[in-house]
Chain A
Amino acid sequence: AQSVTQPDIHITVSEGASLELRCNYSYGATPYLFWYVQSPGQGLQLLLKYFSGDTLVQGIKGFEAEFKRSQSSFNLRKPSVHWSDAAEYFCAVGADYKLSFGAGTTVTVRA
């Protein structure tokens, strides 16, 4: 069975600073990997996904993530955070139809 670990429950970052959110997964084969963002009171919006090919994937809102098979990781990065990036971020691993989510990382952006 697949599983996802997001080690950081909460991260605070200054506006304009870089952001990295960690994600580690457990899955026996090559996984499908996703990052979703959830703003307060909203649904989950897909930021980016990895199915195969280039291990550095670009997403919306200036986010990118890198798949590292050797480390079973799929960390999300953004070079310069905006106040609107304050939200909860979920990493997910998919196999067939099942999507397993991490517990989420809440990002707070300070001025």
Chain B
Amino acid sequence: DAGVIQSPRHEVTEMGQEVTLRCKPISGHNSLFWYRQTMMRGLELLIYFNNNVPIDDSGMPEDRFSAKMPNASFSTLKIQPSEPRDSAVYFCASSLVSGTGSGTIYFGEGSWLTVV
């Protein structure tokens, strides 16, 4: 089975440019997560979708960040305008959350973003 697929794997962009990261979750999963990993802060949850609906976006740093999930098989994380402090690895992850609570979360390979 295909895992969580992210694109691009690596991106280098100039400050002020718009960045769009893409994610295809595992088929059949009903939950999608965007995480950010930095040396200083470790792994942080940015936003959580359940059945394509944003449930918790309390981790989104500021208004420059936005995320969408137009359907069950696709999500985007957009940064506009980008800043050097946004340089990080952005992970998309998905899971099948049942009525009993947490499901196992599977991660993509990550999008390595560098803003210069």
Question: A-side interface residues toward B, CB under 8 Å?
Answer: 32, 34, 36, 41-46, 49, 51, 90, 94-99, 101-104
Contact: A96 with B102, CB < 8 Å?
yes
Q: What is the predominant secondary structure among interface residues of chain B facing chain A?
A: strand
Partner of A97, one of B4, B91, B97, B108: B97
* Docked complex Cα distance between A34 and B56 (Å): 21
Contact: B107 with A97, CB < 8 Å?
no
Question: B-side interface residues toward A, CB under 8 Å?
Answer: 4, 31, 33, 42-43, 45, 48, 50, 55-56, 91, 93, 95, 97, 101-102, 104-110, 112
Contact: B107 with A43, CB < 8 Å?
yes
Contact: B50 with A97, CB < 8 Å?
yes
Contact: B45 with A98, CB < 8 Å?
yes
Query: Distance (Å) between the CB of B34 and the closest chain A CB?
Result: 12
Contact: A43 with B109, CB < 8 Å?
yes
Most B C-beta atoms less than 10 A away, residue of A32, A45, A99, A101: A99
* Docked complex Cα distance between A45 and B108 (Å): 9
A-B contact pairs, 19 of them (CB 8 A): A32-B101, A32-B102, A34-B105, A36-B107, A43-B4, A43-B107, A43-B108, A44-B91, A44-B93, A44-B107, A46-B105, A46-B106, A49-B104, A97-B48, A97-B50, A97-B95, A97-B102, A101-B42, A101-B43
Most B C-beta atoms less than 10 A away, residue of A44, A46, A101: A44
